[in-house]
Amino acid sequence: MIVSEKIENKEIVKQYKELLQISYQTLSNKDKILIRSAFDTAVNAHRNQRRKSGEPYVYHPISVAKIVAHEIGLDATSIAAALLHDVVEDTEYSFEDIEKLFGSDVMRIVEGLTKISKLSKESNVSLQAENFRKLLITLNDDIRVIIIKIADRLHNMQTLDAMPEYKQIRIASETLYIYAPLSHRIGLYNIKTELEDLSFKYTEADRYETIKNKIEESKEEQDQYINSFSEIIQFALAKEKLKYQIKGRSKSIFSINRKMTIQNIPFENVFDKFAIRIIYKSTHRNEKFLAWKIYSIITDHFTPNPTRLRDWITAPKSNGYEALHITVMGPNNKWVEVQIRSERMNEIAEKGYAAHHKYKQGQQKDIGIESWLDKLQEVLENQNENPVDFVENFKLNLYAKEIFVFTPTGDIKSLPKGATALDFAFSIHTEIGMKTRGARVNGKLVPLSRMLKSGESIEIITSDNIKPTSNWLDFVKTSRAKSKIKSSLNDEKKRIADDGRETLRRKLKQLKITLKDKIVSQMLRYFNLNNSLDLYYRVGLGTIDNKQLKDFSTKYNSSFLNFFKKRIRKQTIPHKKEGKDQITQRFDTLVFGKEMETLKHSLSNCCNPIAGDQVFGYISVNEGIKVHKKDCPNSLSLQSNFAYRIIKAKWVDSSSDEFTAILKLSGIDNMGIVSEVTKSITGDMSININKLSFDSEDGIFTGLISVNVKNKTILNRLINRILKVKGVDKVIRE
């Protein structure tokens, strides 16, 4: 034990030295004293604590501080706060102690991190969405709180092996749902990529390992390709006396999987598995000129794809990202993406907020982070929005591609791709958005729902007699517009609900029932409503009338709650526990939980799972157990927001049930293609076709086929068989 402690202490000292050496910022003597003091305090405070892995607990805050110092590049105050981020929560130290020892800045950051940590530990109710809102509110105090929290989450993901499986799935899902998009939005691309890959490792372990192994197998081939590309252009670059380096960047495992899934293609058919990055040395003044010079040199040697040019130098992304991206036909006739960045641009891309702040020129406005925070603040102030809606609206704009449009005076505005004229109105000012009557695009009147394109000039027409309507929500894209419209509609709804509450109290009194919380809860169940506001609103509108209230009152008795309990109990059907050796490849029966019970359930419409798919159960409020595929579009949201309602599910043994699957085909319209495809399905596979439709245009066909299959194994075999038909290029399961 003594030897072990000596080894651990030696490792702690070694990590401290590394922390100072790898710091992105230049540390003064005062900075080093602050960090040393925080380090000593953390070591002392956590001296008797250990992580689930058995390591000394202090390894964790030191690792978080190293991420903050090197990968993100924050200052000494942030490094000290990272070292101390768990001290108040887990030890005898108080916030007053931290302020006395390290000052108010460090104390405020630690306080913000402690609040977030406490929120994330609450359970039994769906708090993730509300916690996310509260987590973002900390941005108002100091953005460093959220950045250190991202570093904390990264290290937790790096050491997730020590956690039980159910926690691994919950934490990984939450990371994909919240922390990876947030990292992307702040500009921490490297961390965002690592968070996605680590999360994918736990949410879909087998698929992760398969893709990872294939990437490693193709590493040598990738290196050779980068060398051959470099050899062709390095003479021309050297001739211009440019100082540069060429690097290869592999596409992340998560990104490759997403492409394979969306396009329904194997790993080998993902052609942009890596990109080539040219990082050049330049003064700030010459950056743009040199970027286009390098672009010219590359396109002199390789044919560019004109539809794949991305100019984020002239118009940087809203999070500050700058670069030129081009796709060219490289050696061996392969399309390859080339990213052109200066050293400054590269630092901003890798360090995000910290580097963006470092390179700020004098009084130049930090249009990336600061304008984003201003807009975010407006959304945060809207307390009326449902927390889950808030998360979805916030995420709506995280990964969105951007367009750039102009006001009548020539000011440029950045909006997410797909934004409408009404979104533009709200981006100018809330009051303009609220009173929008019409819009002119390039001088012509257009509907408010008209989607905008880059380069267009928009003029908004307003009227004092206009106010938002619910149909506006159908076509606005930005979270700002959605939140403002909802807020306006909710104000009107609240006014009606206030009247409705008084009406309900009076009518229930006539039925000898007193309006109180217990009664409201029972009425919400009875009328299948989400909250009391909806109840009072419907009473205020008159959609819940006297007859319906009388029907409710007849069922209001001592056994009312038992009625619902019995209904839930009836959903379960006892089933004998089966051993793993009994599970076959026929995959036709769903079982749930550790006991592998068969329970009453229904298949969700959003992803249409079939036998053999990897699935999970979600215990809904009104519809019992709903079964979703693990890669369902709603999977991350459900597993992050409602982890306590998730139940394990898997397909086992056989039954004669069949499932409907819809296949979308495309390819070259050869003579007899429909007949050949039909034969491939109905031949020796003996599969029934429910519906079949084919369209042809300019020699290209598209088709939709609905078939009945017993399980996923048969469906995959069918897809592979159809792909062998001459002319068929792609088959995707809808």
- What are the residue numbers of the active site? 89-90
Give the largest Cα separation in the chain, rounded.
93
Task: Quickly list DSSP for 41-86.
Answer: HHHHHTTT-B-TTSSBTTHHHHHHHHIIIIII---HHHHHHHHTTT
Beta carbons of 351 and 319 less than 8 angstroms apart: no
Which among 167, 288, 298 has a CA at the least distance from the CA of 230?
A: 298
Q: By the 8 A CB rule, do 588 and 708 touch?
A: no
The dihedral region occupied by 419, where left means phi > 0, alpha psi between -120 and 50, and beta the remainder, is: beta
Quick one: tokens of 281? 């040395």
Residue 626 to residue 645: CA distance in whole angstroms: 11
The answer for residues whose C-beta is within 8 angstroms of residue 209's C-beta and 6 or more apart is: none
Cα 78 → chain centroid = 26
Length of the chain: 734
Using the structure block, give the residue that is written with the tokens 């006539």: 510
Contacts for 543 with CB less than 8 Å, ≥ 6 apart: none
Name the residue among 109, 36, 47 with its Cα closest to residue 78.
109
The one-letter code for the residue type at 660 is T
How do strand 334-342 and strand 274-280 relate by DSSP bridges? parallel
Q: Which of 721, 591, 576, 600 is nearest to 654 (CA)?
A: 591
Structure tokens at 235: 């003479």
The per-residue DSSP string of 187-251 comes to T-HHHHHHHHHHHHHHHSHHHHHHHHHHHHHTHHHHHHHHHHHHHHHHHHHHHTT--EEEEEEEP
d(CA 577, CA 579): 7
Residue found by looking up tokens 């927390």 in the block: 387
Tell me the CA distances in angstroms from 38 to 62, 83, 284, 426, one per residue in order.
Answer: 10, 6, 37, 45
